[in-house]
A and B are shown apart, each in its own frame.
Chain A
Amino acid sequence: MINVKNLDKSFGDARVLKDISTTIEKGEVVTVIGPSGSGKSTFLRCLNKLEDPSGGSVVVDGKDIMDPNTNINDVREQIGMVFQHFHLFPHMSVLDNLAYAPTKVKGLSKADAEARAQDLLQKVGLSDKAEQYPSRLSGGQKQRVAIARALAMEPDTMLFDEPTSALDPEMVKEVLDVMKSLADTGMTMVIVTHEMGFAREVADRVLFLDEGRLVEDAPPATFFSQPESERAQDFLAKIL
C-alpha cells in the first residue's frame, strides 16, 4: 500500500506537483492520465524517490521514504519500475539484465537468479532471446524484457511511465498484453499512459492530473463517462 499525503514537488521556482493526496491499495491497478507536462512522470518518480518530494509524505508499506532512517533501497526493492525508453543495460545479455539485480540486491545465487530469469522470460514470451544483447531486440521485445527485469526482483508494486509511448503501433499490443496478465495476477500497478482503452479496461481507478493538481480520482467508468471537472472533459474531448 502506498500512502501519498499532501505531496508537493518543485523544480526551482516551478511548482510541478501541488498538494496531491491519494492511497494506492494492495492489488489495485491505477492509471495516471493528464496533459503533457501535468506532472504524471514526476508523481510516479516521487513514489520510489527517483525525485525527492519537496513537501508532504509518501509512505510505502509503512516506510516513510522521506525519513532519513529509511533505507531507500529497501523500498525500491519492493517497487519495480518500467520506463518509456526501457533503459535496459546494453552491455549485459538479456539473461544478465534479469539476473543482475537479484544477485546483487537479494543475494540470490547466480544459478537461482538465472533460473528465475528464464522463468520470467518464458512468461513474457522471450525464452529464445536469453543470450541476445538488448540492441538486437525490437522495441516491444525490449519493453517486455524491461518488465521481466523489474519482476525479477519480485516487487509488490510496479510503476509504469508511458511504457508503450516509444513503441511502433504494431508492438503496443504485445506489451499491453503482458501488463494485462500481470494485472490479473493481482499485482499492484501504477501506470502513466495515453492508452485510454487500456485504462478503461484494466484500471480500478483513474487519477487525472492537470498542472500539478490531482483533479479527478475516480473509477474508469465514472471518469470516462461523466468526468466532473471541465479540464478532464476538455482533455477527454480532445483525445477520444
Chain B
Amino acid sequence: MNLDFTQVIPSLPFILQGIGVTLSIVAVALLFGFVLGVFLSLLKIGKYKTLRFLADAYTSIFRGTPLVLQLMIFYYGLPQLIEMDVPAYLAAVLTFGLNSAAYVSEIIRAGIEAVDEGQKEAAMALGIPYSEMMKDVILPQAMKNILPALMNEFITLTKESAIVTVIGVMDIMRRAYIVGGDLYLYLEPLIVAGMIYYALVMGLTLLGKRLERRLRHSD
C-alpha cells in the first residue's frame, strides 16, 4: 500500500473552499430549522388538537423517511410541480432546514416539558398571559435542556450534509470526489475530506462543551 498525498496538495485549496459551502448549508438550515422547530413545538404543546396532530405528522414523516430521498424529492421532484428549476444549494438548504425542524421541534418540546409544571402555574396564578409566560418564564428555562441537544443536532447535520453531493452541491465531499476523479486517485482526497469533517465535528463538540459549562455556571 502506498499513499501519495503530494499529488493532492495542489488541490487542497479547492477542497478547503468546500468548508464554507458545507458550513453555510448547515448554518442556514439550522437557523431555518430552529425557527420552524420552535413554531412546531408550540403547536405540539398547544391546546388545538388539529394543529397538534399536524405538527406530529410533520415530524413523523420527516423522521420516518430517508434524508437522501427528501433531498432528491426537493431537487428532482419539486421542479415537476412548480415548473421551475430548483438550484441545488436552495434544495439542500430547504431539505435540511425542513428536516431539522422536525428534530428541533422534538428537542424543544422535550425541553419545555422538562420545565417544572409549577413554573407555569405560578405564572398563571399571577395573571400572566400565555405568550408572555412562554417567552419570559418557560423558554428561558427550557433553553438549559435544549441547547446541548441542539448542539448535537448541529453536529449530526454537519456530517449528514455530505449527502448533498448527490445533487451536485460543491461541498467538501463533492470537491474531494472531483479531485479524486481528476487524479485517478480517490483514497487520498477522501481521507483529506474525512479529516476536515472530523476537525469540524471536534470543533463543534468543543464549542458545545463550553456552552454547556457556561450554562451550568449560571445555575
**A85 close to chain B: CB less than 8 A:** yes
Stretch at the interface among A13-21, A73-81, A178-186, A210-218: A73-81
Could you tell me if A91 and B141 are in contact, using CB atoms closer than 8 angstroms? yes
Q: Is B116 an interface residue (CB 8 A)?
A: yes
A48 x B119 contact (CB < 8 A): no
State whether B128 touches A73 (Cβ < 8 A): yes
Instruction: Give the number of residues in B that approach A within 8 Å (Cβ atoms).
Output: 19
Q: Is B137 an interface residue (CB 8 A)?
A: yes
A78 to chain B, nearest CB (A): 8
B95 to chain A, nearest CB (A): 35
B122 at the interface (CB under 8 A from A): yes
Q: Does any Cβ of B come within 8 Å of A115's Cβ?
A: no
Binds B, one of A3-11, A62-70, A99-107, A122-130: A99-107
| B97-142 at interface with A (beta carbon < 8 Å) | 116, 118-119, 121-129, 132, 136-137, 140-141
Residues on A with beta carbons closer than 8 Å to the beta carbon of B119: 87, 89
Contact A76 B126, beta carbon cutoff 8 Å: yes
User: Given A89-B137, A91-B141, do A101 and B127 touch, yes or no (CB 8 Å)?
Assistant: yes
Q: Which of A83, A87, A91, A105 contacts B128 (CB 8 A)?
A: A105
Listed by A's residue number, 27 A-B pairs whose Cβ atoms lie within 8 Å are: A50-B124, A50-B125, A73-B127, A73-B128, A73-B129, A75-B127, A76-B125, A76-B126, A77-B126, A80-B126, A81-B125, A83-B118, A83-B122, A87-B118, A87-B122, A88-B122, A91-B140, A100-B126, A100-B136, A101-B123, A101-B127, A104-B128, A104-B136, A105-B126, A135-B219, A149-B126, A153-B126
- Can you name 10 extra interface pairs (CB under 8 A) apart from A101-B127, A104-B136? A48-B125, A73-B129, A75-B127, A87-B119, A88-B122, A91-B218, A100-B126, A104-B128, A150-B126, A159-B125
